Amino acid sequence: MKFSLEKILNIEKIKKNFKKFPSKKILVIGDILLDHYIFGDVDRISPEAPVPVVEVKNEMFFPGGAGNTSLNIKDIGGDVFLISAIGRDKNGKTLEKLLINKKIEFFLFKRDVPTIVKTRIIAKNQQIVRLDREKIEQLSKKEEEEIKKIIFEKINMAEVIVVSDYGKGLITENLMDFLKKFKKRIIVDPKPEHFKFYKNIFCLTPNKNEAILGIEKINVKSVKDIIEIGIKILNFLKSENLIITLGKDGMIVFKNKSEIYHIPSIAKDVYDVTGAGDTVCGIFSLYLCVSNDVLESAIISNFAAGIVVGKIGTATTNQKKFIEFFKNNYKNFFVEKIR
Q: Which of 79, 189, 272, 278 is catalytic?
A: 278
State the alpha helices, DSSP H only, in 261-331.
276-291, 294-308, 319-329
Q: Please report the domains of the chain, with CATH numbers, ordered by start residue.
A: 2-337 (3.40.1190.20)
Q: What are the pLDDT digits (tens) for 164-187?
A: 999 999 999 999 999 999 999 999
Whether the per-residue pLDDT at 270 is higher than 60: the answer is no
Query: What is the pTM assigned to this prediction?
Result: 0.93
pLDDT of 218 above 80: no
pLDDT for position 168: 96
pLDDT higher than threshold 60 for residue 271: no
Q: Which of 30, 112, 127 has the alpha carbon at shortest distance from 70?
A: 30
The answer to whether 35 is a known catalytic residue is no
> What torsion do the CA atoms of 9, 288, 188, 117 make, to the nearest 10 degrees?
80
Give residue-wise pLDDT tens across range 45-88: 999 999 999 999 999 999 999 999 999 999 999 999 999 999 99
pLDDT in tens, 5-39: 888 899 999 999 999 999 999 999 999 999 999 99
Q: Which residues contact 282 (CB under 8 A, 6 or more apart)?
A: 26, 28, 68, 69, 70, 72, 73, 162, 301
